Each structure stands twice: as structure tokens, then as C-alpha cells.
Structure 1
Amino acid sequence: MAQTAGIRQRAETMLRVAAMFASSGLWRPGPPLKVARQLDALRRWGTTLGGSLVSAAARDPGRAAIVDEYGTLTYAQVDARTDRLAAALGDGGARPRVAVLCRNHRGMVESLVACSKLGSDVVLLNTGMSAEQSLKVLDEQQVEVLIADSEFAEVLKGAPAAVRTLTADGPGSAVAELIDRTVLKAPLTPPPHSGRTIVLSSGTTGQPKGAGRHSRPGLGPLASVLSRIPLRVHETMLIEAPMFHTWGYAALQIALGLRATMVLRRRFDPAAGLRTAAETRATALIAVPIMAQRMLEWRSSTQEELDLSALRIVALSGSALPGGFATRFMDAFGDVLYNLYGSTEASWVTIATPRDLRRHPDTAGRPPRGTRLAILDEEGRPVPPGTVGRIFAANELLFTGYTSGATKETVDGMISLGDLGRIDEDGLLFVQGRSDDMIVSGGENVFPGEVEDALSELEQVREVAVVGVPDEEFGQRLAAHVVLHPGAELTADQVRDHARRRVGRFAVPRDVYFPSELPRNATGKVLRRQLRAEADRAS
């Protein structure tokens, strides 16, 4: 019985993959010789990052793979350059563990692909970490080679003497020089074992943890995304989300799988990003919510005309969408918005389409094909539709565990995402927030997101974060950190009066602060621990 069920499951997966790939154009007929080379590359290299690049270069060697500040590289050029870089890094047969600390540009992509071709473990360092944090990760992860942009001089200089350091940004970088001077003695062959990819948790609550990722994910995850987002072969993808993060790294994997042109920018700027999208005729934009929010604000404040008619997809992930943002964004840019919910440990769990977001701007969407989702109570039992509980999920991209040896709570093969949420009668997920962010005030449970959405309705409010701080009488009280639009005015009493009309009495913020901006990490998540500390000190 179990064998029959397994066969049926594999057959269903194959049919799912076939349907998704057909709709995306991946199975479009092509020159027989190139198709044969593509399939042979996949057979030999598999679906690793390096294998996806080799396969894409075999099918579309002359297609632009990377467009960045340094110019354009074709798939054939990236394939040849990463062969040479892999050979240089593995000189003498070594497969060193490599840490990469780079912004989005060709040097980062080439380093990641070369390490994949070599079979090296890769640790993706967060550009928003302090030098002290980065150096601690180098030690904890036993890194042997550090590839970093020259701006991170403190980390490069502070690395242990045993760690080989290489700069990666620009034609004159150490990585570029290695590529230019390396001569292959023999064609590169697939490594005997695929290296691990280690993504760091976002680190909003302390030292980030290393989460192991599958480096040979198969075709299922790509088909999963395509089941909810209509990406197609040969997209032009502007990847603004940092590639050291789960979503940015996933975008790199998707782009290679679709033989897309990746448009990369080292630093985010809303005006420059939208101008780049217009100039390159980008068909897809990959970003985190705060980036899209800044783009909307800039476009609403400028008279500059930009032709963004080619932009079919704006896919966001990394943090919750601000209240009402989805509707405002689609009113300005069209129904192109897709919102992905997930985590470093589970990748994407649900995806909201423009249709979902038009109906429910606060929804996280539905699970894509191949993903199981459940809302469980404290004893691990399913709760009825509409009931808030703990979010658990399982898919083909679950992490392999933390490098420390720790793992996540698991129930029936599904891991806890650490969030609370509910699923409505139509199967849509609504995320209430982190379980440890829930505020208990006077015995009442308050979800910060509900209060934040209510305060975001005020036209003077640019963004807002609500946290709980200790209170002798109620256990916790609410503190609202409200950022106003330039020139706008609002008082604490006006904020509280609006909250009284929109949420329960127990959810009205007692403390109201007006900072110039909210503290965020490099992926745009609000650092709530820092806000709690600031509110506690001020009380």
C-alpha cells in the first residue's frame, strides 16, 4: 500500500511539474542540438545552482544573464567565468567552506554559482549585520574563504589569518582577477557531492542562526511557484531583494531555471529602481515590502513619467504588507502584486495573487501546489476555520536543520513557523503576527498587526509599529511608534482617539511616539526588540 501511494504521489508530482512548465514556456520546442545539450547538462549536474546555470547556458548561450552597473554578461560568459572561478577556488582539489558577504551584482552571482559547481558549502552573510556579528559567524561556521565587497573592510581585515579573503565587487576585485588569470587545465566536471547552502535567520532577536538549505531542490519547487505566479521563460527580472536572504536567493534560483535576464542593483533607491525597471523593460520585480512601499510613495510624489507597461509581476516577501498597502499599490501600478508568506526555514508557504489581494488586502494567500498548511492549537490539534492558532507547514523546501544542531517544532511532518494565524472558509491564510509578539494586556490578547492596520488608515501616517512594554498594573501596555509623512502633523491624542474607534478598548496604545523612521534590518523587517527597549527606557 505504501509503495502504491508513493508511486501515485510521484506521478502526481510529475504531472504537476509538466503542467506548470508547459504554461511557463519552459517546454517550448527549440533547436534539437541545444535542447539535447540542455537535458544532458541537467542529467549530469542536477538542479543545483551551478547545474541550472550550465543547463541555461547550453540552451540559451547568447542570452543576457546578468545586467548590472558593470554591463551585461551572457549565459555563456557566466558559465565560462564561473568554471574558471570554481577551478581557482578549488585549486589542489580543495572544496573550502565559503562565506559570501556581497550586495546584488555579478560578483555575488558568480561566487555562488562557482561554489555550487565546486561542491563547496556556502554561508550567506547578511549585509546588515555588524562586523562583530559577521566575524562571529565566520568562526561558528568554520569558514575557510570569505568573499566580500570591499565596503566591508572591517570584516575583511578582522577575519582570522587562516581565512582566505577575496573582494568581489568590480572588474578590479580579487574575484574578477582570479577569473581573468585562471586557465582551465581540463573541463570542469560535476562534484561528487552537492555543497550545502546556509542562510542566516534575519537576526531581529539577537545573533542570527544558520539554516541549512537543500542545494539540489529538484524541479518541484519551481513548479510550486509557477502554480501561483505566472512567471515565464525569458523574463527580465529586476531583483531588488538582497540575494543573501531567502527570497532574494530564491529569485536567483527561479531566474536561472527560467533562463531569465537578471537586472541587479547594488543598493536600493525607489526612483532609481523604477527608472531601471522602465529602461530595461523589466517584466518582473522581486522585492521586499518596504521597497515596494517606498516605490509607491516616490511615484505618488513625482511628475516624472515612466513606461512600466512591461511590468507584469511584482512579487514581494520578507515581512507583512502594511495595512491597505496592497490596494493602494495596485491602484497605482495595476493588478500585478503577488505576496509570498514563508520563512527562512520553510521558504514560501502561501502566495496571494492580485485577485486574492483585491478581495482581502491583508491575506497571505493560499498554499502553492506541493505545500501542506495547518493551523494547530497548543496540543498540536487542528482548529476550526476562522480560529487563530499556530501556523505549521511542510513542502519540498523545508530546511535541513540549524547548523547548531537545533531544529523547529514538528507535527505530522510540518514545522512551526513561529507565527499565529487563521484560515478562512475559502482557504485563505491570515497571519496575525509572531507568537512572541502577541501582547497580553489586562488579560486580553492583542495582535499588533490589527492595531497597526487601524492606525495606517490615518492619512498622516507613513508607517507604524506597535509593541508591548512591561506594565505594573496590566502586565503589558501598548506602545505605538508612528512615522508621519513629511510635513504631516498628528498628536498622540488623535492617534488614541482613532484607535478607540477602530479596535477594542484594551488595544488602544497608551504610549505614542513619533520617530523619524522605524529601525529595520537589511531585509526590511522592523526591529521590534529595539522598539520595545526604547519604549521601556522612555517610560
Structure 2
Amino acid sequence: MMDWLRYGAEHYPNRICINQYTYNDIYRSVVHVARNLERSDVSRVAILSDNSVTMAIYVLAAMLVHKEVLLLNIHLKPNEIENQLAQLDVTTVLHSIERRDQLPNSIYAIVFDSLESILSDLAPEDTFDWTFKDSDIAAIMNTSATTGQFKSVPLRWGQIRAHVQASQKVLGKTEEDNWLVVLPLFHVSGLSILMRSLYNGTAVTILPKYDEAQVLKLIESEKINMMSLVPTILTQLEPTITHHKLRVILLGGEFIPMALIDACEKKSLPIYKTYGMTETFSQSVTFSVLEHPHKRDSVGRPLPDMQVRIDNPDTDGVGEIHLTGPMVMTGYINKKPIDGDLNTDDIGYVDEEGFVYILNRRKDLIISGGENIYPKELEDLVYTLPSVKECAVVPVPDDKWGQVPALFVAFHDGESMTADDILSFMTKSLAKYKVPKYLKILPELPRNGTGKIVRNELRLED
């Protein structure tokens, strides 16, 4: 925000901002809602809603009145929401009417006004302070929220400002930019799109959720030219794209099968692989695959002012990935501050040209009989099988080896393979200790609200 919205209303009031609404429309709506919210004397509020123009307005309005905005995951159960609110001392929740039943009775719930009523205020009085200190908290997001154990990430204005400036340098901008938002606004991938677009003075198109037919229509009509997707969604969408004028497809959130990169390259789909996290306000490493096809296995170079350091590297230069820079958080809420150096818990290396390679998350590393097994290596191999839709490798306790790999596979509709055929195929390319000791075929793999595979829900006995 940081005056970007008000600047847009003053300098290009009739330019599209969100969906069909102009910068002037959104500015007036935000001021209207902010007038109501400023009466509350609480310093921190929560928002619970599916993606919508109204949700975006309420997020921006709460920020405008200098509230710290806790963005709640809509997939949480009422007891999980109650736990998060209690731990963060939040007593007020702004919500869409559809989400009321998820809220505990102990809190003060304020339902969103209708978009029509918000837009009807034609001449709102703007007496607000549009300046924010870099150290002020704009939003709070809880990570690992569906596991019961979570950490609260404070997203400060300094991080947001540093991110949008660096992202613009890497992705560029045009006045025609219109960024599709199908990833949740309660997630950093969704919120960062909104902030980038306000900073750039460009448009966003918000959909309530991913709808393949609607997305395809937006692409082929050339209404949108930028998207942020997870690989699962793009894998489903790519075969249906026949015509496009896309400028950027920001792709991250989980490991990307090489078969998907190949298919996108053949159609000149502008894939920008990215690596980032809530703690760094989204992308911190990015590159264009079409511009650097020989680096397709990497996740790119660090954004301007970001640094990647490999801690405790082995003889091959592989170690824990640490990030430093102005986008990195100062520490989790109610936890010890970090010293400006964030241990991502990911394992990888940096090549001589500064490109970063991710081998695996530390928590996903399988140590079997003293040997390191990187699930990504096994998954990349399985993804080369045309019938495989999705797969994941996880560790299973073993009395002899400590841990052994287990493979979970789902096939495309109408496709199948036997477990023996898959394991035989893998045996030809892998050392014996890397070949999965267990294999389970599922109709689909469990995923969270942003489309990531939830590995801790994969069970052999289910």
C-alpha cells in the first residue's frame, strides 16, 4: 500500500485496478471501509474469507488504519482458528458471510459489507495517515497452519517495499499488465501479487478459486498476461492452452517436473521459476526459463539485494540454504529474533554463475544406513513416466536402515502401471539403496489450499 493506491487514484483514476474496478473505485472503497474500521481501538484484527474483491478491499482498509492483519487459512477448523486467535491476542475477526460458521463464539465477528454498499459512497473523506514505518507490521501469516503447530510470520512494510521494488526489476512491467490471482489472498503468494500490482500501478483479476475453463477464457481473450501458479495447476492447464499473450508465469511452491518445463518450452510459455517463502514475502530467487534454458534445473538467481549463502557445505558444495536481505523477516512473533540470516531448512547449492539449486527440504531428507537420499531425485525420475500424474517420496522407519523411501503415485485418468513396472524402471537408474522399499498407488495425493502436496498425510497403512 504505502500510498501506492492513493497515488493511483490521483494520477490514473480510470485505470483498472481489481477486476472491473478502477483505481478510483478501489481507493474510494478502501477509504469507506477504513472509516468504519478506525472506530475499533484494537491494534490487531484477523480476516477470514475466500478470494474476492471485497476481501482485498478489507485487507487494504485494515492496513490503512494501521491494524496488524492476521490472514486466516480458510481450511482451518473452528478449534484451530480459536487457537491461533488466542495465541496472537486477536479478539476481532472480519469475515465473509460464508465463513461465519468457522468462527468461535468467543470473538467479536464483523461481517463484510456488500461490495455494492461499499462502492456506493461516492465522496469519502480521506483523513488517513498513508505513511508507514518499515518496521510496522502490515500482515501476519501463520505457517504450517494445518498441522496444529504453527509459527507466526510478521510481514513488515520494509519487507514488502523491498520485495515489490526488486520483483519489478526482475519481472519488468507494462501498462497492459493484468495479473491473475487464483492462489489465496490469505497466502503470501496471493497477497504479494496484490502489493506488486499496486506498486506498479497495474491490474489484477481475482477469482474466488481456480476454475480451469474461466482461466483458459481469460488467457485466450488476452485479458490477463501474468499468472502465479503451482506446478499441479499448470500441469492440468498447459495441454488446453492453444493461444496466449502471456508475459509471465511465476511458477513455484513445490518441485517442478521437467516434463512440465519441456511442454511449456514447446509452447513458448514464459515460465519464471521462483523460490521463496512466507518469511521472505514470497519470491526471493527467480529466473526466466526461456532466457536461460540451460539452467532449467535451477530456481534462478537471487533478486536484487538478496543473498544466498550455503552453510556447512560438503565437498560438492551442497549444504543448508541461508537467505539474507531486506525481504527477510526479523523473526517469528513471540520467538527469538533472527540475526538477519534465515536458515530455510532447504538443502542445495549455488553454481559458478550464481544460480541456486534446491535438492530437498531438510525435513524431507531420508538418511538410510548413513546414505543421504533426496526425494526430489526419485520424484523427478518417476515424473518422466508419461502415465504418472503426481508422486511423492517420504521416509518410513526401518529397523535395519533407520529409514527407507516409500513412493506414493497417482496416474492420469485412464492411465496405469503396476508397482513392479515402476520399481523395475527406477532400478535401472538408481543405486539400490535409493529404490523405494514401498510403493502405494492412490487416486490422488493430498494437497493443501495452495496446491502443495501434504507429505505428512501420506500413510502406507491407510
- Asked if these proteins are the same fold (TM beyond 0.5), I'd say yes
Partner of 2:140: 198
- Deviation at 1:339? 1.3
Identify if the C-alpha distance between structure 1 residues 406 and 356 changes in structure 2 by more than 3 Å, giving closer, same or farther. Answer: farther
**Cα deviation 1:207-234 (Å, max 9, x = unaligned):** 3321001124475422311332233344
- Deviation at 1:285? 1.2
TM-score (norm 1): 0.80
Partner of 2:39: 91
- Deviation at 1:356? 6.0
1:293–1:325: 8 Å Cα contact kept in structure 2?
yes
Partner of 1:508: 435
Partner of 2:59: 112
Q: Of 449, 456, 481, which residue of structure 1 is paired with 2:383?
A: 456
- Deviation at 1:314? 0.7
Question: Equivalents in 2 of 1:314, 1:376: separation in Å?
Answer: 31
Which letter does structure 1 place at the counterpart of 2:149? Answer: Q
1:314 has 2:260 as partner: no
Correspondence 1:86-485 to 2 at 5 A: 86-91=34-39, 94-156=41-103, 158-161=104-107, 163-167=108-112, 171=115, 177=117, 180=120, 184=124, 187-190=127-130, 194-203=136-145, 205-217=147-159, 219-299=161-241, 307-308=243-244, 310-332=245-267, 334-347=268-281, 348-355=283-290, 358-377=293-312, 386-407=316-337, 413-485=340-412
Please identify, of 446-455 and 180-189, the stretch whose mean Cα deviation from structure 2 is larger. Answer: 180-189
2:284–2:302: 8 Å Cα contact kept in structure 1?
yes
1:78 has 2:78 as partner: no
Identify if the C-alpha distance between structure 1 residues 275 and 335 changes in structure 2 by more than 3 Å, giving closer, same or farther. Answer: closer
**Cα deviation 1:399-439 (Å, max 9, x = unaligned):** 1321232455x5xx321011001122332211111101100
Which letter does structure 2 place at the counterpart of 1:52? Answer: W
2:306–2:327: 8 Å Cα contact kept in structure 1?
no
**Cα deviation 1:132-188 (Å, max 9, x = unaligned):** 2222212222223212233323223x2424x232136x54xxxx6466579856633
Which letter does structure 2 place at the counterpart of 1:252? Answer: L
- Deviation at 1:61? 0.5
1:523 has 2:443 as partner: no
Q: SS of the counterpart of 1:375?
A: strand
TM-score (norm 2): 0.92
Partner of 1:4: none
Question: Equivalents in 1 of 2:178, 2:123: separation in Å?
Answer: 32
Partner of 2:5: 53
**Cα deviation 1:439-491 (Å, max 9, x = unaligned):** 01122110000000001111110111000111112111111111101111201
1:101–1:125: 8 Å Cα contact kept in structure 2?
yes
Identify if the C-alpha distance between structure 1 residues 329 and 271 changes in structure 2 by more than 3 Å, giving closer, same or farther. Answer: farther
RMSD of Structure 2 on Structure 1 (CA): 2.4
Q: Which has the higher helix share?
A: 1
Please identify, of 236-245 and 141-150, the stretch whose mean Cα deviation from structure 2 is larger. Answer: 141-150
1:66–1:73: 8 Å Cα contact kept in structure 2?
yes
2:159–2:328: 8 Å Cα contact kept in structure 1?
no
Question: Equivalents in 1 of 2:230, 2:50: separation in Å?
Answer: 15
Question: Equivalents in 1 of 2:292, 2:260: separation in Å?
Answer: 10
Question: Equivalents in 1 of 2:349, 2:97: separation in Å?
Answer: 45
Q: SS of the counterpart of 2:145?
A: coil
1:62–1:76: 8 Å Cα contact kept in structure 2?
yes
Q: What residue ranges of structure 1 are gaps of 5+ in the alignment?
A: 1-48, 300-305
Q: What residue ranges of structure 2 are gaps of 5+ in the alignment?
A: none
Q: SS of the counterpart of 1:425?
A: coil
- Deviation at 1:191? 6.6
**Cα deviation 1:477-526 (Å, max 9, x = unaligned):** 11111110111120111111111112221111111111111111111221
Question: Equivalents in 2 of 1:391, 1:229: separation in Å?
Answer: 23
Which letter does structure 1 place at the counterpart of 2:165? Answer: A
1:96–1:144: 8 Å Cα contact kept in structure 2?
no
Identify if the C-alpha distance between structure 1 residues 354 and 428 changes in structure 2 by more than 3 Å, giving closer, same or farther. Answer: same
Q: How many residues end up aligned between the 2 structures?
A: 459
Aligned-pair identity (%) = 25
- Deviation at 1:279? 2.9
1:88–1:178: 8 Å Cα contact kept in structure 2?
no
Question: Equivalents in 1 of 2:126, 2:411: separation in Å?
Answer: 61
